[in-house]
Every structure is written in C-alpha cells, then in structure tokens.
Amino acid sequence: MTSLDDGPLAGVRVLDLADRSGALAGRLLAGLGADVVLVEPPEGSALRTVPPFYDGAPDTERSLFFWFYAAGKRSVVADATLVARLAAAADVVIDTGPPGATEALRAAHPRLVVAAITPFGQRGPYRDWQASDLVAQAMGGMLAVNGHADGPPLQALGLQAYHQAGVFAAIGVVAALLARETSSRGQLVDISLQAAVTASLEHVPGMFHQSGIVPVRQGTLHWTRHFRVGRCRDGWVLHCTLGDWTSLLEWVKADGMAADLDAPAWEEAPHRKAHAEHCFDVLDRWALRYTVDELHEGAQLRRIPYAAVRAPEALLRDPHLADRGFFVPIEHPDLGVTVPFPGAPMRLGATPWRTTRPPRIGEHQEAVVAEWITS
C-alpha cells in the first residue's frame, strides 16, 4: 500500500545494478519515492570501499561515498539467478555494464524500462572505451572551459559527469514509464557520460554553431564577462556588473575608489562587458577594504547579485538553509551517530524527499524477496 505522502514515484520498483558512475540515478528515484533496491555482492558494493570513511576508518559500513548515493535505497545480496527473478518483478533496471549487457534482460521482460549508463553510449566508434569522471568531462567539453588561462584545464568539483548522467538517466526512466502507460512496453534509455557532459555546457555548442567561436578557459571570468572573483579583506568575493550598476557605482564612489568608472560610458552593460578586465581591476582594489560578509550583504541590500565565495561547509551554518530544513538528520545506530544529510534538490508539494539511512549489506533481503517475488 502506498499513500500520497510516499512521494510521486511511490510504487515504482527499481533494481539498481549501477556502479559509481550511475549511482545518482537510483538515489534521485529513491528521493522521489520509488522503491529502489540496490544489488550487492556478498562482500558489499564497490562503492563501500571509496573514501572518505566515517571517522577515517575504512569499513564497508562507514564509506560516506556509499552513504550519499545509497541513502533511501534498500539492499539485497544477489547472484545472477536472484537478479533475474528480481528483474522480472521490477519496473526499472539501472545498469552500468558494457554496451549490450542488458539486451537479454530486455528481451525477456518487454515491460521493463532499462537505463544503461556507459562511458560513451551503446553504439559508435568509442562504445567500448573506458572513462572516469575526469575523462568524461574532458571528452564532453567541460574541462576545456574551466581553469586559469595560464594553467591546465580543470575538472569540476564533485563528479559532475557522473551526476549529470544520473540526472538524465532518471529523466529518461520517468519518461519511459509515462510512455509505457500507453504502449505497455518498456524501452532502453541509453545514457552516455560524454554526451551528458556535452548537454551540460552552457555556451559552448551554441556559440560554436552560431559563430564558429571556440570558447576558452579564462579563470573565474565568466564567459558573459559580467562576473569575476576578486580578493577582499578576509577572503574572496564574486563581483557582478549586471543588476543595479548605479547603486554599485554610488557605493564605490562614496569610498573614493571609482577611478574612471563614473564616466557615462560605463552605465551601458555592453561597455562594461567589452572592458571587463579594467572594470574588475578597479572593483578588486575597492573590495580590499571590505570583508566577504560586508560585500555580500551590502550588495544584496542594493539588489546587486554579488556573492560570498564560500566553502561547502558554510552551507551547514547557513540560516536560510536551516530555516528550510535542507539538511536531514539521519541516525546511524550501529555507529551511535546522527549525521545531517544534504537533502532535497527540489521539493514536490507535500511529498517529502526520501532520505533514509543507507542500508547495511543485504539488510532488506527477506523483505524485498517477500514483497517482490513471493507475494
């Protein structure tokens, strides 16, 4: 029985066979209320060996890497025979095996929606090549536009190739479930890490197709040339020359630091964009007299989209996120600790984002077999 408060995908059964490259897909579907069952070998998922570990001690029940992706999922230990029986009862299978690995499964179960996440997709000349998150970012075009101009191309923080693949896989799965309502047939959702990255660039393909422009990496200077990071008294701040320029200029002028920026030409955004380096150089000299918080708060009062350049841990102390209950306390009784888990990426009405304690190895063996197979 499911109730309306169980999440929009309540009642959808997902068998999660994914490695770390596809682990977010099941996490997202679980957050939305699907019953996601993670299949593990007897020694536990390989994700359990990835650091960091709680209190630093390597242990299959202490990997925070595993915790993040497995929260909200249930765990069974299954061999090929049990996997086949579970697949027969599932609506969705998420797999990260090599191209073609799920063809037999799809043939045996025409109603099954199969998301296959591979480095480069199911077909094409690179289909059998290997990737990692870094390699997928390189091949997809993300690395080339990040980093300082005089340094190497730079990866994104936080495995974003894997994460975009996971998001697109979840999108494809729900779309395929909707299609199945009318066709009564499942289908293959073919996800390529590389293509997921290419689809998560902002300006790169469009500018090339429009004008033949090849965007380059230029540090924190945004491609629109309206944002750049600068130093201030106690850290770093993001300058922005969009929004209420007049208010920003009045502030800088009042401090006697506007240099030539009070010339009328600077009132026009295209001028600020064309001469962005000079504009930001002046603002950098001005910002040195302020703290991060003074600049962030002062700018927001003036409706200027400045931002503090913060570390992730600042989110844990952010009063706004606390007010919204972004972090969800999850108790880990074996370790006697309660850890605030990062919560919902989005909130769907009254249905909560499901974040339950990451499972122990095979913790839900009997329950899943009873619910999925024998009932």
Partner 1 sequence: MLPAGPLAGVRVADFTWVVAGPVCTRILADLGAEVIKIERPDALDFGDRRGGLTGSLMRGKQSIVVDLRRPGGIDVARRLALAADVVVDNFSARVMPNLGLDHDSLACERADIITMRMTGFGLTGPDRDQVSYGPTLQALTGYTLLMGDPDGPPAGFGYSYSDLAAGNLGALAVLAAVWRRRRTGRGTRIDLAQQEALASLLGPILLDRAAHGGTSRATGNASQEGADAPHGVYPCAGADRWLAIAVLGDAQWQGLRAVIGNPAWAAEARFESAAGRVQHAPELNRRLASWTRTQDAEAAMAVLQEAGVPAGRVGDARDVCARDPQLAARGHFVDVATPDGGTVRIDGPPFLLSDTPAAVRGPGPLLGEHTDAVLARVLGCDDGEIARLRADGGVR
Q: Which of residues 323-352 bind partner 1 (CB under 8 A)?
A: 323-324, 326-327, 337, 339-349, 351
Residues facing residue 327 across a β-bridge:
342
Euclidean distance between CA atoms 331 and 325, whole angstroms: 16
Residue 126 makes CB contacts below 8 A (sequence gap 6+) with 119, 120, 194
Burial (Cβ within 10 Å: 0-12, 13-18, ≥19) of residue 223: middle
Q: Which is nearest to 23 in space by CA: 358, 368, 293, 248?
A: 358
Q: Which is nearest to 312 in space by CA: 296, 330, 302, 326?
A: 326
251 binds partner 1 (CB under 8 A): no
Q: Which is nearest to 219 in space by CA: 146, 155, 137, 282?
A: 146
232 binds partner 1 (CB under 8 A): no
Q: Closer CB to partner 1, residue 222 or residue 275?
A: 222
Q: Closer CB to partner 1, residue 82 or residue 171?
A: 171
Restricting to residues 9-28, name those near partner 1 by CB under 8 A: 9, 11, 20, 24, 28
CA distances from 177 to 7, 85, 238, 324 (A): 16, 20, 42, 31
Q: Work out how close the CB of 365 gets to partner 1 at its nearest, in angstroms, rounded to a whole number.
A: 26
Q: Of 13, 70, 72, 120, which lies in the binding site for partner 1, with binding defined by CB under 8 A? A: 120
Q: Closer CB to partner 1, residue 76 or residue 116?
A: 116
Q: Of 77, 89, 201, 259, which lies in the binding site for partner 1, with binding defined by CB under 8 A? A: 201
Site string for partner 1, 55-74 (x = CB under 8 A): x--------xx-xxx-----
Q: Work out how close the CB of 371 gets to partner 1 at its nearest, in angstroms, rounded to a whole number.
A: 19
- Contact, 72 vs 355, CB < 8 A? yes
Q: Closer CB to partner 1, residue 75 or residue 355?
A: 355
Q: Closer CB to partner 1, residue 214 or residue 274?
A: 214
CA dihedral 54, 59, 64, 66 (to 10 degrees): -170
Q: Work out how close the CB of 373 gets to partner 1 at its nearest, in angstroms, rounded to a whole number.
A: 24
Restricting to residues 256-315, name those near partner 1 by CB under 8 A: 300, 303-315
Residue 264 makes CB contacts below 8 A (sequence gap 6+) with none
Per CB under 8 A, the segment of 50-58, 89-97, 255-263, 283-291 that binds partner 1 is: 50-58
202 binds partner 1 (CB under 8 A): yes
181 binds partner 1 (CB under 8 A): yes
Q: Of 163, 272, 354, 364, which lies in the binding site for partner 1, with binding defined by CB under 8 A? A: 163
